[in-house]
Amino acid sequence: MTHDEARARAAAMLADAGIVLTPAERDAIEVTDLGLGRLEEVGLQIVVYVNTGRVCAKELVMLPGQICPEHRHPPVGSDPGKEETFRCRMGSVALHVDGHDEIVLRPGEQFTIPPDTLHWFQAGDEGAIVSEFSTRSTDEHDVFTDPQITR
Amino acid sequence: MTHDEARARAAAMLADAGIVLTPAERDAIEVTDLGLGRLEEVGLQIVVYVNTGRVCAKELVMLPGQICPEHRHPPVGSDPGKEETFRCRMGSVALHVDGHDEIVLRPGEQFTIPPDTLHWFQAGDEGAIVSEFSTRSTDEHDVFTDPQITR
């Protein structure tokens, strides 16, 4: 699957879920394979609504079975690190958070991940749409467990 | 219209828009007339998804023509005041922000209001569902222009 195909599929999933994007947002859906070249297995499609100095909101669109691999958001300077709330909108996502058993989120269910806490997640068989409400997002500070990952 | 009727109508609007709530969230939809006793004209229905020390996310559900009256979110201690991004999901909302002409948001459109900036907003003829992404929400610090308003 190419990045363009993944972007088109994410746009279709969002439309099916009744989540309206502007044409510019649809064209700008970010597709990342995290540098591993196995997009269908490991990767994310992302709509960034807003990312100010204080607040970030995104939709994460995941293909069936797709994984976002283990990482954490460490403190940076005076910032304690990114805090994230994941809220499932469509499909299901299995969330693996350090210190917790597996947490499966279905539509309407959510979980808040504290800063600097290892986590990874995988979409179920239908894929998933997950709203992320967080503090400022700075991808370059994310620490992935797999040293082959680039973001 | 009673508060229970407004809550039921908001729940129906959210369901029509494909926004899934848990039964507990549906029961907990906040209805406020801001103390004015004219809910159909002035008021809000609110679903609070999350409100931590750093991040808040809500859905604001507005009945047709309903107004959220002029207010601002002032600095509190070391906090510069609440920053809010409004993203329209359904219907339309006319946003009046100090220093700007009227901003009409339709589905997929959004606007970020800086801290401590006077603003008010009114739903269009179909009502509106507006996602709010913000820093921590502390209603007790909001400053409304109309001294009769209580929150």
The DSSP call for residue A91 is E
Per-residue pLDDT band at B58 (split at 50, 70, 90): very high
Name B124's Cβ contacts closer than 8 Å, sequence gap at least 6.
Answer: B64, B65, B91, B92, B93, B94, B104
**Which of residues 23 through 82 in chain A touch B, CB cutoff 8 A?**
25, 49-50, 52, 54-57
Which secondary-structure segment (H or E) carries A131?
Answer: strand A119-134
Report the residue of B25, B50, B55 to disrupt the A interface, i.e. the one with the largest count of A CBs within 10 Å: B55
Residue B111 pLDDT: 98
**pLDDT of A36-77, one tens digit each?**
999 999 999 999 999 999 999 999 999 999 999 999 999 999
Per-residue pLDDT band at B150 (split at 50, 70, 90): confident
Per-residue pLDDT band at B143 (split at 50, 70, 90): very high
% residues pLDDT > 90 (chain B):
97
Q: How far apart are CA A84 and CA B12, in angstroms?
A: 28
Residue B129 pLDDT: 98
Model pTM score: 0.97
Name B77's Cβ contacts closer than 8 Å, sequence gap at least 6.
Answer: none
Residue A94 pLDDT: 98
Between the alpha carbon of residue B114 and those of residues A59, B54, B134, B148, the distances in Å are 23, 16, 10, 25
Task: Find chain B residues with C-beta within 8 A of A51's C-beta.
Answer: none
**pLDDT of A98-119, one tens digit each?**
999 999 999 999 999 999 999 9
Tell me what ipTM this predicted complex has: 0.96
Q: What are phi and psi of B61, to 5 degrees?
A: -110, 125
- DSSP-assigned states of every residue in B15-75: HHTT----HHHHHT-EEE-TTSS-TTTB-EEEEEEEE-SS-EEEEEEE-TT-EEEEEE---
Put simply, the answer to whether B110 touches A25 (Cβ < 8 Å) is no
Report the residue of A25, A26, A50, A78 to disrupt the B interface, i.e. the one with the largest count of B CBs within 10 Å: A50
Q: How far apart are CA A49 and CA A46, in angstroms?
A: 9
The DSSP call for residue B7 is H
Per-residue pLDDT band at B105 (split at 50, 70, 90): very high
Cα first-last separation, chain B: 19
Query: Is the CB of B134 inside 8 Å of chain A's CB atoms?
Result: yes
- Smallest Cα distance from A15 to chain B, Å: 11
Residue B44 pLDDT: 98
Put simply, the answer to whether A52 touches B112 (Cβ < 8 Å) is yes
Put simply, the answer to whether B109 touches A134 (Cβ < 8 Å) is no
- Smallest Cα distance from B39 to chain A, Å: 27
Task: Find chain B residues with C-beta within 8 A of A54's C-beta.
Answer: 54, 83, 135
Residue B151 pLDDT: 75
